Copies of this chain bind each other. A is one copy, B any other.
C-alpha cells in the first residue's frame, strides 16, 4: 500500500524523499489523522500548494493516492474532500479488521518466538497498570502495541499493509472509545486467553478469539460513534 513511504530515511533536511507527491501524501495523511483536516472538509488546491510550497502537479498526484487509499473522496469538477465514514462503513471496516487480526493470529502461531510472546505479556501487564491508573493514553498505547505485535508476528507484509491502511482510516474513531469496567474486564480476560493460545500455538482457536475480541471493541466504538459524529 504505502510503498514509497517506508524506504529512504535520509539525513538531509527537507528534500530527502525522492518523490514530492509522496512527501505531500504523508503530510496530508498526518493532517487528516491529526484532525486538522476534518471529514467533509474540501481540499483547496491553491491553498495547499501555497502551504507546501509546491506546484499543483505533485499535489494532485498525492490527492489521487489518498483517494485510492480511501482517505479522500473525489468530487467531479469539484476537487476532493476528506472522506467521512458512515456508521455502517465503520462497522464494516471493524469486521474486516477483526478478520485481518484473526488471520494474523492464526499465522503468528506458526512462527512466533517465546521472546515475542514475552514482550506481549509485558505490554499486557503495563496495559493493566495503565488502566488501573486511569491512564487512558497509556492504556490505548499498550493495547495497540499488543495487536501490532501479533500482526508483526504473522510475518505477512501484505496483511500488515492492508491492516495499517484500514487502521489509519478509523484511528480517530477507534481511540476515542471509552469502555465500561465490564467491557474492560472482558477485554483483559480475552487478552489473557490470547496469550495462552499463543503459548500453545493454537492458531485456529486464536483466530476465533481475536475475531470476537475485535467485535467487542466494535460495539464499543460504534456506540461512541453516534455521539462523536453528531456534530
Interface residues of A (CB under 8 A from B): 1, 3-4, 14-15, 18-19, 21, 57, 60-61, 64-65, 67-70, 73-77, 89, 92-93, 95-96, 98-100, 102-103, 106-107, 156-159, 162, 166, 204, 207-208, 211
Residues of B within 8 A of A102 (CB): 99, 102-103, 207
Residues of B within 8 A of A92 (CB): 156-159
Residues of B within 8 A of A96 (CB): 100, 103, 156, 158-159, 162
> Complex Cα distance A68/B62, Å?
10
Chain B residue nearest to A93 (CB atoms) is B158
Whether B15 pairs with A76 at a CB distance below 8 angstroms is: yes
Q: Which of B19, B74, B76, B156 contacts A74 (CB 8 A)?
A: B19
Residues of B within 8 A of A61 (CB): 60-61, 64
Question: Per DSSP, are chain A's interface residues mostly helix, strand or loop, or mixed?
Answer: helix
Chain B residue nearest to A56 (CB atoms) is B57
Which 4 pairs across A and B sit closest by C-beta, in order of nearness? A99-B103, A18-B76, A68-B68, A92-B158
> Complex Cα distance A226/B76, Å?
44
Residues of B within 8 A of A67 (CB): 3
Residues of B within 8 A of A207 (CB): 102, 207-208, 211
Residues of B within 8 A of A69 (CB): 68
Most buried by B among A15, A21, A68, A69: A68
Residues of B within 8 A of A57 (CB): 57
Whether B1 pairs with A95 at a CB distance below 8 angstroms is: no
Residues of B within 8 A of A106 (CB): 99, 211
* Known pairs A103-B211, A158-B166 / 9 extra A-B pairs, C-beta < 8 Å: A15-B75, A18-B76, A64-B68, A65-B65, A92-B159, A93-B158, A96-B162, A99-B99, A102-B102
What's the minimum C-beta distance from A197 to chain B, rounded to whole angstroms? 15
Chain B residue nearest to A204 (CB atoms) is B208
